[in-house]
A and B are shown apart, each in its own frame.
Chain A
Amino acid sequence: MPYEVVHQDVLVIGAGGAGLRAAVAAAETGVQVGVVTKSLLGKAHTVMAEGGVAAAFGHMDGQDTWQVHFQDTMKSGHFLNNAHMVELLTREAPDRVLELEGWGALFDRTETGEILQRAFGAHSFRRLAHVGDRTGKELIRTLQNRAVHQGVAVYPEIIITRLFRDARRIAGALGYRRADGRFILFRTPTVIVATGGWGRLYSVTSNSWETTGDGANLAFSVGAELVDMEMVQFHPTGMLWPPGVRGLLVTEGVRGEGGLLYNADHERFMTRYDPERMELSTRDVVARAISSEVAAGRGTPHGGAWLDISHRGAPFILRKLPGMRDQFLQLADVDITRQPMEIAPTVHYMMGGVRVDPDTCATAVVGLYAAGEVAAGVHGANRLGGNSLADLLVFGRRAGLAAAAEVRDDPQLSEIAETEVQLAIAEALAPLGRTAGANPYAIQADLRRTMSQYAGLIRTGTGLTQGLERVRALQRQAVSLQVTGGPAFNPGWNLALDLQAMLVLAEAIFVSAIERTESRGAHFREDFPREDPAWGRFNLITTRGGEGGLRVRREPVVGAEPAAARTERPATASSGGPGRPGGSGGSGGSGGSGGSKEADQT
């Protein structure tokens, strides 16, 4: 079968925040960059990010510094985070946010004209730069325009089905155009995978159809490792009713702006779970609290909790949360300026993912990088709200710079054998050619039920084992999927291919969750309900085993000792470093003590 061939110096797969930021960074160095996206440009899941981007400017609270942000992040991640990545994240975030304004973004302002920051769960200070409740859209639009005007080549609505490598390095990627099914081969010395998470593995999720984990699986299939796969974040507040909107995100900004949680008895139940931080506790704690209230018979009519912001008054809500107001009014007939929202936890984010080098986002495969949600390391066992947007800016840029540098050092393209390409094309087309076989929609529905039932908020060893068996059974059925219609814009065919990735990642979640016999952050085991300090020293690495199955091994967490972080801080605080020109340089001194106080509590 014929196919088109395109050459790029850097190929970015995924046009969300991380992918576009990587493309911008690489293009600025003068190399040729291409971005491939499954959707149209600007539609990626980053648009759903609502609350804001965490960056310790200290505009609202002068004591805030990157060190306090560092401590908040490590603590919320239950110290499974890679401490070096967290340092990079928290030191560089303010610069990354500020440069967006140089490219056309405009964040909400304080009375004195600085970037306004809002409170968010488990952030010690008001820290999230935001644009009402549509911060993600501001990021993606800014980066999209910046990328396009820097000459980045955009390939919309292309699905990558295979990565190629030789013994030495990555060699290219094969995909097809959704519009007509024609195949296209990208020959490139470097690939940056920035494809986001795999929330679609679950039946209730805030994620769009795209988040099937195909990028993680592509990287895994050529030799990258996965880490912390058991760590799946449930956002405490997803919409619950009517059924069509089940799982749709209700921004944490609602609680950040003063929203209160009640059970059916009109009781602020968070007093039982985290009396100090209440509604602004970490997401893992709030999500499990809601689920416990429902289990105890104190749930709302459809099995959730009430979230009420109406006491802040209509003018405030219309200004701070206009999107939420529209969303509830139009989709649920609820006016949040007068009525409470009915909410329940929804799968939102994957802390686990492709294992990368902290500084360069390089994977175990030469020439292959990963950034954003698809990569792991920054968030540990639980992600703080606002840290994902910071993550994709900081590490998207780092991946783009590193890939561009690699191309300049070693531009030699690796060969791709024609037989390999033809084999990959035939494999991709197989579901269209079969006259009988399993229906991908049915398998997807079964998989999503399985994940929600056995790998959800509350897990048990026996449940996880049952779930794993079910996933392996589905994998066997999915060997011969069959779809109707032709190759032109055929969602059934896309799903058949995405499903292969979803089934691999589902297995990885189960094998890791079975292995971690403790409860930590997002991973809660009823049979091991306590956090075990011995387990806190290890990340779980998933690789391919002998017979196609997956293998899990433990590796020591990198630099997660709180003491180490504490000694490091004073030195870096005063040096200025690469982190922080401009903005709030004067607040460094007082922040040191704030940070130490945080550290002492842990």
Chain B
Amino acid sequence: MTEAAQRAHMVTLHIYRGDQRGGVEVAYDVPVEPGQVVLDALEYVQEYMAPDLAVRWNCKAAHCGSCAAEVNGQPRLLCKTRVDAYGGADIHVRPLQTFPLIRDLVTDVSWNFDRARDLDPAFRPNEPPPFDLPQWEVDRVQEFHRCIECFLCQDVCHVLREHGGTDRYWGPQLMVRFAELELHPSDAGDRLDLLENEAGIGYCNITHCCSDVCPENIEITHDAIIPLKERVADRYHDPIGAWLRKLTRRPAASTGSGE
């Protein structure tokens, strides 16, 4: 904490300022207000100290997922992270690490949107609506619809973050999207080939880090990835299943080659 911060009721934020060419953390002293979130503090910095501070935000209510960043090394939504949670200690705010930096706290997350476009087929109903569905079946799919596309799970996925695996694995956020389609009771689309090959579901080794950071508390590993892995295994890695398919002449789309 700087001296000025100690004198008044202030908190010191160390905010990463920079772009692809490099950057540093810059300290800003911000007055503390009751209930303040880190995004409030950043807005204060914008208004009074650094009008060009780059930070994404939209709804400020944890509904849109725009303001994902790292606070003291933890992936967080800035609009949901209380300043008082750090007990007056300095707060370090840095951009997501998995994606290329644009400026300050803003990263280029377009890769995720490109993969979402590649996720084909989209929802393919086996009959036109209205669907006669019980609430419990709706709930199962709705868990995945809670995703706010903040990409915090992509930020902590070690395949993407430590191993730069965006060319091999689409990451937990896209697995949630797969699950929402594959587990929809009225969906007739087949995406297992895509999942096994291009999307590289085999690279996930179920470390659960993604589920831990999800601000919507989606059980990404248990509810999305594991059921998807089971479906892929049934089709591509189960010798008895393969033999049965041969017998009944139901062709598998391809054999597992993604690993």
Interface residues of A in 126-179 (CB under 8 A from B): 131-132, 134, 136-138, 141, 145-146, 148-149, 154, 156, 179
Taking a contact as CB atoms under 8 Å apart, the answer to whether A327 and B61 are in contact is: yes
For the complex, give the distance between the alpha carbons of A208 and B59 in Å.
5
A residues less than 8 Å from B148 (CB atoms): 47, 137
If A137-B63, A208-B60, A493-B52 touch, whether A108 touches B138 (CB-CB below 8 Å) is yes
Residue A441 at the chain B interface, CB threshold 8 Å: yes
B204, CB-defined interface residue at 8 Å? no
With A43-B58, A99-B129, A149-B120: A106-B141 Cβ-Cβ less than 8 Å: yes
Report the interface size for chain A: residues with CB under 8 A from the other chain.
72
Tell whether, in the assembled complex, residue B51 and residue A210 are in contact, meaning their CB atoms are under 8 Å apart.
Answer: no
- Kindly state the separation between the CA atoms of A441 and B43 in the bound complex, as whole angstroms: 11
Interface readout for B176-198 with A: 1 if CB under 8 Å, 0 if not? Answer: 00001100100000000000000
- Expressed in whole angstroms, the Cα–Cα distance for A47 and B128 within the complex equals 26
Q: A102-B128, A104-B122, A583-B130 are in contact. Are A244 and B33 (CB under 8 A)?
A: yes
Q: Judge whether A426 is part of the interface by a CB distance below 8 angstroms.
A: no
**Interface presence of B35 (CB below 8 A):** yes
Contacts of A245 in B (CB 8 A): 35
- Whether A485 contacts B52 in the complex (CB less than 8 A), given A48-B61, A331-B35, comes out as yes
In contact, B102 and A179 (Cβ under 8 angstroms): yes
B127 to chain A, nearest CB (A): 10
Contact A582:B56 (CB < 8 A) given known A43-B64, A138-B145, A485-B51:
no
A106-B145 in contact (CB<8A): yes
A441 and B47 contact, CB distance less than 8 A:
yes
| Selected contact of A115 from candidates B34, B35, B130, CB within 8 Å | B130
Q: Note all chain B residues with C-beta closer than 8 A to A441.
A: 46-48, 51
Residue of A nearest to B63 (CB): A47
Indicate whether B109 reaches chain A with its CB closer than 8 angstroms: yes
Tell me if A331 and B37 are in contact (CB < 8 A). Answer: yes
Shortest beta-carbon distance, B90 to chain A, in Å?
A: 19
Chain A residue nearest in CB terms to B66 = A43
What 1/0 mask marks residues of chain A from 97 to 134 whose CB sits below 8 Å from any chain B CB? 01101111011110111110000000000000001101
Q: Nearest Cβ in chain B — how far from A86, in angstroms?
A: 25
Q: Which residues of A contact B181 (CB under 8 A)?
A: 104
Check A39/B145 contact, CB under 8 A, given A45-B58, A104-B123.
no
- A370 part of interface (Cβ distance < 8 Å): no
Is A341's CB within 8 Å of the partner chain B?
no
**Would B51 and A131 count as touching, CB distance under 8 A?**
no
Whether B145 pairs with A137 at a CB distance below 8 angstroms is yes
Q: Given A39-B66, A210-B58, A242-B35: A113 and B51 within 8 A (CB)?
A: no
Q: Which residues of B contact A45 (CB under 8 A)?
A: 58-59
Report the separation of the CA atoms of residues A493 and B50 in the bound assembly, to the nearest whole angstrom. 12
A364-388 contacts to B, CB under 8 A, are none
Which chain A residues lie closer than 8 Å to B53 at the CB level?
Answer: 491
Min CB distance A359 to B, Å, is 26
B51 contacts which of A103, A106, A484 (Cβ < 8 Å)?
A484
Stretch at the interface among B3-11, B110-118, B225-233, B237-245: B110-118
Q: Which of B84-122 contact A (CB under 8 A)?
A: 102-104, 106, 108-110, 113, 116-117, 120-122
- A156 in contact with B110 (CB, 8 Å): yes
From 2 to 50 in chain B, residues with beta carbon under 8 angstroms from any chain A beta carbon are 19, 33-37, 40, 46-48
Interface centre among B57, B59, B180 (most CB of A within 10 A): B59
Interface residues of chain B: helix, strand, loop or mixed (majority): loop
For B129, the chain A residues whose CB sits under 8 A away are 98-99, 101-102, 582
- The count of residues in chain B whose C-beta lies closer than 8 Å to any C-beta of chain A is 62
User: B53-77 toward A: CB 8 Å interface, digit per residue (1/0)?
Assistant: 1111111111111100000000000
CB distance from B200 to the nearest CB of A (A): 21
Report chain B residues within 8 Å CB of A439: 51
Contact for B63 among A103, A179, A242, A323, CB less than 8 A: A323
User: Which of A43, A104, A131, A148 meets B65, CB within 8 Å?
Assistant: A43
Contact A106/B57 with A148-B117, A243-B35, A491-B51 known, Cβ cut-off 8 Å: no
> For the complex, what is the distance from the CA of A471 to the CA of B59, rounded to whole Å?
27
Cβ contact within 8 Å between B58 and A491: no
Q: A227 to B4, alpha carbons, bound, how many Å?
A: 51
Q: Report A-chain residues with C-beta under 8 Å of the C-beta of B37.
A: 244, 331
State whether B63 touches A491 (Cβ < 8 A): no
Give chain B residues whose Cβ lies under 8 Å from the Cβ of A42. Answer: 64, 149
A149 and B35 within 8 A (CB): no
> Which of B51, B142, B147 has the most chain A CB atoms closer than 10 A to its own CB?
B51
**B133–A489 CB distance below 8 A:** no
> Are A113 and B59 in contact, CB atoms less than 8 angstroms apart?
no
Per the bound structure, the CA–CA distance linking A244 and B145 in Å amounts to: 28
Given contacts A108-B138, A483-B52, contact A241 B46 (CB under 8 A): no
Residues on the A chain within 8 Å of B51, using CB: 439-441, 483-485, 490-492, 495
Per-residue CB contact flags for chain A residues 36-51 toward chain B (1 = under 8 Å, else 0) read 0001111111011000
> Which residues of chain A are within 8 angstroms of B116 by Cβ–Cβ distance?
145, 148
Say yes or no for A403: interface residue by CB 8 A criterion.
Answer: no
| B interface footprint on A10-45 (CB within 8 Å = 1, 0 otherwise) | 000000000000000000000000000001111111
B135 at the interface (CB under 8 A from A): yes
Residue numbers in B under 8 Å from A243 (CB-CB) = 33-36
A residues within 8 A CB of B46?
441, 491-492
A48, closest chain B residue (CB): B59
- Docked complex Cα distance between A210 and B103 (Å): 19
Chain A contacts of B34 at CB under 8 A?
241-243
Q: Name the contact of A489 in the complex, choosing from B40, B103, B125, B180 (C-beta under 8 A).
A: B103
Bound state CA distance, A145 and B181, in angstroms?
Answer: 11
B130 engages A491 (CB within 8 Å): no
**A-B residue pairs in contact (CB < 8 Å), sample of 23:** A40-B109, A45-B59, A47-B64, A103-B123, A106-B138, A106-B141, A107-B138, A108-B135, A109-B134, A111-B135, A113-B132, A113-B133, A114-B132, A131-B145, A137-B145, A154-B113, A179-B102, A208-B60, A241-B34, A241-B35, A244-B36, A331-B80, A488-B54
Query: Chain B interface (Cβ within 8 Å of chain A)?
Result: 19, 33-37, 40, 46-48, 51-66, 80, 82, 102-104, 106, 108-110, 113, 116-117, 120-123, 125, 128-135, 138, 141-142, 145-149, 180-181, 184
State the 6 A-B residue pairs at the shortest beta-carbon distance, nearest first: A242-B35, A485-B52, A492-B51, A104-B123, A489-B54, A101-B129
